[in-house]
Amino acid sequence: MISLIWAMDKNNLVGIDDKIPWHIKEDLLYYKAKTNGQIVLMGDQTYYSLKGYYKDKPLPYGKIYVATIDKNLVIDGCEMVYDIIDFLKNFDGDLWVVGGATIYKLSLPYANRLYISFVKGEYKGNRYFPQINFDDYMLIWENDTEKVRYTIFERKK
Ligand SMILES: NC(=O)c1ccc[n+]([C@@H]2O[C@H](COP(=O)([O-])OP(=O)(O)OC[C@H]3O[C@@H](n4cnc5c(N)ncnc54)[C@H](OP(=O)(O)O)[C@@H]3O)[C@@H](O)[C@H]2O)c1
């Protein structure tokens, strides 16, 4: 099962340069609860951005796949993915795709589940999630708070 998890504002905004445009603690806790100890896939930009937040602490995932098109790039403690499409087509097991914008776009066609945190309001930034055809998905869970509408969508068979 391939799950994408992300937070976006009303304009599908997910980032500003290498950062998240907002700081919403409850969403961070939600994200951590879902992805802690899991197998994750992220782009190299997101990897370096997370390393900036975590400094010398280990990232809280079970196994980290890092996608890059730079075949010379090797990151200690991570499995490198140089062909993301081939990787997604052949992946067997539970994988969480954790960004960023480029990797979400490439992974969306292979996603079984979408964990979307709809952040209320409008922020400034320059990285966007692509348009989603919600006709392809059904909402299987939601929880609305003052700041965020948490949802899980499952691809229709
Ligand atoms: N709101 C959220 O939930 C959320 C979550 C995560 C990240 N973000 C945000 O997303 C932004 C980062 O997104 P981004 O698009 O700049 O970077 P990214 O998705 O983290 O990484 C993009 C990298 O993927 C590699 N790539 C491209 N095509 C590929 C392919 N076919 N196979 C393998 N690798 C491939 C490229 O590597 P090369 O460098 O080698 O070209 C590219 O640099 C930041 O603002 C971050 O804060 C938001």
C-alpha of residue 66 to centroid of ligand 1, in Å: 10
**pLDDT value for 23:** 96
Starting at the edge strand found earlier in the chain, the sheet holding 2-8 runs: 79-81, 63-67, 39-43, 95-97, 2-8, 113-119, 148-155, 137-144
Least confident of 2-11, 34-43, 46-55, 117-126: 46-55
Instruction: Kindly report the pTM of this predicted structure.
Output: 0.96
Query: What are the tens digits of pLDDT across the range 64-112?
Result: 999 999 999 999 999 999 999 999 999 999 999 999 999 999 999 999 9
C-alpha of residue 18 to centroid of ligand 1, in Å: 9
Taking residues 26-48, report their average pLDDT.
97
The residues spanned by each domain of the chain are 2-155
- Nearest CA, atom 22, ligand 1: 43
Residues flanking ligand 1, CB < 6 Å: 6-8, 14-20, 42-46, 49, 67-70, 81-84, 98-103, 106, 127
Return the CATH number of 2-155, one of 3.40.50.300, 3.40.430.10, 1.20.120.790, 3.30.460.20.
3.40.430.10
Q: Mutation test of ligand 1: which of 17, 41, 46, 147 has the most ligand atoms closer than 8 Å to its C-beta?
A: 46
Scored b (16 or more CB within 10 A) or e, 71-110 reads eeeeeeebebbeebeebbeebeeebbbbbbbebbebbbeb
**pLDDT value for 58:** 86
C-alpha of residue 101 to centroid of ligand 1, in Å: 5
**pLDDT value for 56:** 86
Vertex 86 angle, CA 85 and 92, to 5°: 105
